């Protein structure tokens, strides 16, 4: 759920840019403060808490009129960095490159407590651990941090990354090309593509990357905010994040109703209810182990990934203790 947004975004992009270039925080006709929020992908169960907050009126209670927008085709983060929108969804691993260049963004809430991504493969490929990727075809986004992580996973098991056959992965999901034998394995988020594979009845193997390299238990996805906005609208930002928190807490306690709210707000999912519900039930148990602590970052885990990135030469600067805060998500 992270790369290669579907072709529909290209059709929507020109309209989106026109609206995004307008002031993103302003008074609406209802007297509420209007805020644009940039998603990272088409609506899915990572976003459920946001749609619940909208449907249940949590944003209105906070005096806010929140517009959840589809992202441009390249990167949702650029709109946040450039001040075109105050909030959006991004990922700690992708933030590394932005923060290394001095981007003015801060992660203000962790949507999911632990990293639920990992490597999926066809059952007949016999890939049960990172070392088994040797000699196999891996569908890649050709991102330096992505490839650095695969290399580290294999190295820890004494296998060589040089033996992996890299195949460009430009599909909107990784399950279809695996099903069509375009490659043997790919990096996915279990809560969406993993559940999709199960719903299709595709026989697969899957392992979480964090189970092999503890530093890979970073935060993904996260809600990011523009730093200038946070300085100028601190109280408003707190109200927004607290409303979002209520949305995710509700989704944790009511996964089926939350799934139906997501479908109502995103009608394109209407004919996939069984899939959406299965995904929601999984993620509702993953958002947080303690609902009162939803969204909070563990500095030790945040720093461990950025220390690894620095050691691997993937970033130039020491990013530990940078780019995140628990100030807004705490009670």
pLDDT tens for 72-109 read: 875 779 999 999 999 999 999 999 999 999 999 999 99
Question: What distance in Å separates the CA atoms of residue 41 and residue 5, rounded to the nearest whole number?
Answer: 6
pLDDT tens for 5-55 read: 333 333 333 334 334 434 445 555 568 999 999 999 999 999 999 999 999
Q: What is the pLDDT of residue 26?
A: 56
Domain total for the chain?
2
188 DSSP β-pair partners: 118
* Domain-located, residue 297: yes
* Domain-located, residue 158: yes
Q: What is the pLDDT of residue 94?
A: 95
- Shared domain check, 37 and 167: no
- Shared domain check, 92 and 15: yes
Q: Is the pLDDT of residue 2 over 70?
A: no
* Domain-located, residue 321: no
Strand, helix or coil for residue 219: coil
Q: Is the pLDDT of residue 177 over 60?
A: yes
- Shared domain check, 233 and 195: no
Q: What is the pLDDT of residue 171?
A: 83
- Shared domain check, 289 and 229: yes
Residue 151 in contact with residue 83, Cβ under 8 Å? no
- Shared domain check, 76 and 59: yes
Give me the domain span that covers residue 56.
Answer: 8-114+219-311
Sequential DSSP letters for 84-119: S-SEEEE-HHHHHHHHHTT--EEEEEESSSS--EEE
Q: What is the pLDDT of residue 242?
A: 98
* Domain-located, residue 100: yes
- Shared domain check, 141 and 77: no
* Domain-located, residue 319: no
Q: What is the torsional sign of CA 261, 265, 263, 329?
A: negative
Does the pTM surpass 0.85? The reply is: yes
- Shared domain check, 236 and 102: yes
Q: What is the pLDDT of residue 331?
A: 74
Strand, helix or coil for residue 120: strand
* Domain-located, residue 180: yes
Q: What is the pLDDT of residue 64?
A: 98
Helix and strand numbers (H, E) in the chain are 13, 11
pLDDT tens for 104-155 read: 999 999 999 999 999 999 999 999 999 999 999 999 999 999 999 999 999 9
pLDDT tens for 245-296 read: 999 999 999 999 999 999 999 999 999 999 999 999 999 999 999 999 999 9
Task: Tell me which residue has tokens 């209007």.
Answer: 34
Four-CA torsion 87, 91, 94, 97, nearest 10 degrees: 50
């Amino acid at each position: 759920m992270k790369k290669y947004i579907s072709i529909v975004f290209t059709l929507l992009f020109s309209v989106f840019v026109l609206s995004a270039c307008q002031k993103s925080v302003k008074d609406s006709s209802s007297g509420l403060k209007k805020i644009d929020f940039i998603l990272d992908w088409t609506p899915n169960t990572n976003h459920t808490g946001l749609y619940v907050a909208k449907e249940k009126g949590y944003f209105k209670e906070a005096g806010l009129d929140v517009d959840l927008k589809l992202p441009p085709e390249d990167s949702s983060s650029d709109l946040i960095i450039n001040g075109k929108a105050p909030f959006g969804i991004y990922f700690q691993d992708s933030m590394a490159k932005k923060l290394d260049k001095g981007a003015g963004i801060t992660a203000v809430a962790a949507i999911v407590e632990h990293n639920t991504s990992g490597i999926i493969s066809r059952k007949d490929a016999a890939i049960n651990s990172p070392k088994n990727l040797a000699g196999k075809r891996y569908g890649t986004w050709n991102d330096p941090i992505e490839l650095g992580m695969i290399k580290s996973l294999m190295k820890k098991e004494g296998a060589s990354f040089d033996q992996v056959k890299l195949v460009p992965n430009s599909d909107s999901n990784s399950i279809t090309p695996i099903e069509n034998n375009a490659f043997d394995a790919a990096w996915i988020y279990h809560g969406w593509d993993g559940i999709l594979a199960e719903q299709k009845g595709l026989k697969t193997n899957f392992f979480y990357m964090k189970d092999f390299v503890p530093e890979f238990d970073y935060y993904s996805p996260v809600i990011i905010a523009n730093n200038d906005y946070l300085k100028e609208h601190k109280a408003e930002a707190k109200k927004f994040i607290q409303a979002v928190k209520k949305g995710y807490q509700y989704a944790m306690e009511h996964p089926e109703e939350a799934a139906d709210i997501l479908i109502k707000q995103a009608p394109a999912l209407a004919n996939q209810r069984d899939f959406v519900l299965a995904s929601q039930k999984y993620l509702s148990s993953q958002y947080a182990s303690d609902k009162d602590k939803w969204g909070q970052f563990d500095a030790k885990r945040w720093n461990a990934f950025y220390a690894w990135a620095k050691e691997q030469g993937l970033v130039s600067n020491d990013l530990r203790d940078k780019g995140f805060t628990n100030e807004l998500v705490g009670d």
